Structure 1
């Protein structure tokens, strides 16, 4: 039964990405596909406590913590962690923070080797190969913590509605603590709305064909203004080799 369900989960994603270009995969579906339990998600979330301040925010914000790293994923489903390097987007893609090399802290060894991460990356690669025909991928990983307080709201997508200049883009919910907002939207190039969702459960996943769609996320604020809050996500970008 689990194998049949996993096949259906993957097929639904393939159809949506090959069609409109956006797809929401609820936590239960991804957990079945990747063989991840609720306890696994909770353990995996601890890596987000090791993120460091992003000092490259052109809006002056101090709300974003992150790390960065990249893998190669080959046709056999083998992942190879690449040497750490600066992250760069051109300003045409990211008008806020693009046009420079950003020397971000690398992924920790424990994060890069985590079995939850590796299972998710391989299963997503299979979905994207089924859509695109590409068998080898560059996979860039962006674990983010967006903090929110009474003094500063958090901006998960400070550049507004955008694309990332890759082949497929995903946003994986890890945890939400004392925050409201954070509504994700996916749109066509012409601005037509494809879907809107608020990722809320650990393992909720939003997927998009970055060549044909734009995406955005609304700001987050603390639900209880007397306490700080945060939104933890893993953005994963697949670029065809």
Structure 2
């Protein structure tokens, strides 16, 4: 948890309130192996907010990448999705800071991310209301699932079949920082 306090701001459109580190790893023999990739891009087909923009992020600290907790999170992600040994996993370590009356957790709105599998794990909520995860059958329907994730709780979804969003967050006590800390893991299935 302390590593979230050191997440940097970026120059990206959401970089003042969605602080992030990003690493791509191979998960092999229950070990996290850093691939060394730190640039991230989504097609504007999936991200109308920052699509077709190459975004560079500082890597996740090696102590976090090599921690037992992150290895366990990757192992559960791989197991739950029946992914093969050596699967490439993109990991976003994020803090969304409540700097506005309503700060967008997902500024792109109801969306898909262009992967087959996603896991969103809540690490900590501090001085906020909101941040409810919502899942949809498509981008025109009402959510069929809504939940504020408790610390340590994970939601897994088939990103190629479902859509997701989150409600904005607001600081309860405006004079104190409010934030939502989470890990987002994504993977593509190897298609023959």
Normalized against structure 1, the TM-score is what?
0.73
Q: 1:225 to 1:85 in 2, by over 3 A?
A: closer
Q: Deviations over 1:8-30 (max 9, x none)?
A: xxxxxxxxxxxxxxxxxxxxxxx
1:95 to 31, 35, 48: 48
Q: CA deviation at 1:61?
A: 6.2
Task: Find the aligned partners of 2:86 and 2:172 in 1 and give their Cα distance.
Answer: 42
1:141 to 91, 97, 103: 91
* Structure 1: runs of 5 or more not aligned: 1-44
Alignment-derived partner of residue 82 in structure 1: 35
Q: How many residues end up aligned between the 2 structures?
A: 189
Larger helix percent:
1
User: Is the Cα contact below 8 Å between 2:92 and 2:184 reproduced in 1?
Assistant: yes
Normalized against structure 2, the TM-score is what?
0.91
The alignment partner of 2:69 has SS state of: helix
User: Is the Cα contact below 8 Å between 2:30 and 2:71 reproduced in 1?
Assistant: no
* Structure 2: runs of 5 or more not aligned: none
Runs of 4+ in 1 over 6 A off after TM superposition: none
2:4 to 40, 48, 69: 48
CA RMSD of aligned residues (A): 1.8
Q: 1:121 to 1:61 in 2, by over 3 A?
A: closer
User: Is the Cα contact below 8 Å between 1:136 and 1:240 reproduced in 2?
Assistant: no
Task: Find the aligned partners of 2:15 and 2:170 in 1 and give their Cα distance.
Answer: 14
Task: Find the aligned partners of 1:106 and 1:140 in 2 and give their Cα distance.
Answer: 11
Q: CA deviation at 1:83?
A: 1.3
The alignment partner of 2:5 has SS state of: helix
Matches within 5 A, 1:1-241: 45-57=1-13, 62-74=16-28, 76-129=29-82, 134-149=84-99, 151=100, 153-189=102-138, 191=141, 193-199=143-149, 201-241=150-190
User: Is the Cα contact below 8 Å between 2:25 and 2:32 reproduced in 1?
Assistant: yes
Q: Deviations over 1:123-143 (max 9, x none)?
A: 2201101xxx65542201111
Task: Find the aligned partners of 1:112 and 1:135 in 2 and give their Cα distance.
Answer: 18
Task: Find the aligned partners of 1:126 and 1:186 in 2 and give their Cα distance.
Answer: 22
